[in-house]
Amino acid sequence: MNKTIRRTAVVCLLMVLALLVRVTWVQAYQGKALADNERNRRTLIDQYAQPLGDIVVGGSAVTGSARTTGSDDLKYKRTYTDGELYAAVTGYSSQAYRSTQLEGIYSHVLDGTDSRLKNPLDALTGKQAAPGSVVTTIDPAVQKAAFDALGDKKGAAVAIDPATGRILGMVSTPSYDPSQISGTDDGDAWQRLNDDPDKPMVNRALRQPLPPGSTFKLVVAAAALEDGLYGSVDTRTRSQDPYTLPGTSTVLPNENASAPCENATIRTALRYSCNNVFAKMAADLGKDKVGAMAAKMGFNDAEQDVPVRAAESVYPSDMDDAQTALTGIGQFEVTATPLQMAMVSSALADDGVLQTPHMVSEVVDAGGDTLTSYEDEPSRRIVSSSTAEQLRSAMVTVVDQGTATNARIAGAEVGGKTGTAQHGVDNSQTPYAWFTSYAKDASTGKEVAVAVVVEDSGAARSEVSGNGLAAPIAKKMMEAAVR
Residue 411 identity: G
**In the annotation, is 214 catalytic?**
yes
Euclidean distance between CA atoms 25 and 255, whole angstroms: 68
Strands (DSSP E) contained in 300-398 are 353-355, 360-364, 370-373, 379-381
403 touches 466 (CB < 8 A): yes
Which of 188, 210, 248, 164 shows the shortest CA–CA distance to 451? 210
Euclidean distance between CA atoms 253 and 275, whole angstroms: 7
How many angstroms from the chain centroid is the CA of residue 239?
Answer: 35
Sign for the pseudo-dihedral over CA of 235, 239, 245, 246 = negative
CA dihedral of 6, 11, 14, 16, whole degrees rounded to 10: -100
218 touches 344 (CB < 8 A): yes
Residue 42 identity: R
Task: Give me the catalytic one of 133, 214, 437, 465.
Answer: 214
Euclidean distance between CA atoms 258 and 251, whole angstroms: 16
Which phi and psi angles does 22 have, rounded to 5°? -65, -45
Which phi and psi angles does 33 have, rounded to 5°? -60, -40
Euclidean distance between CA atoms 263 and 283, whole angstroms: 15
Euclidean distance between CA atoms 114 and 52, whole angstroms: 12
Active site residues: 214
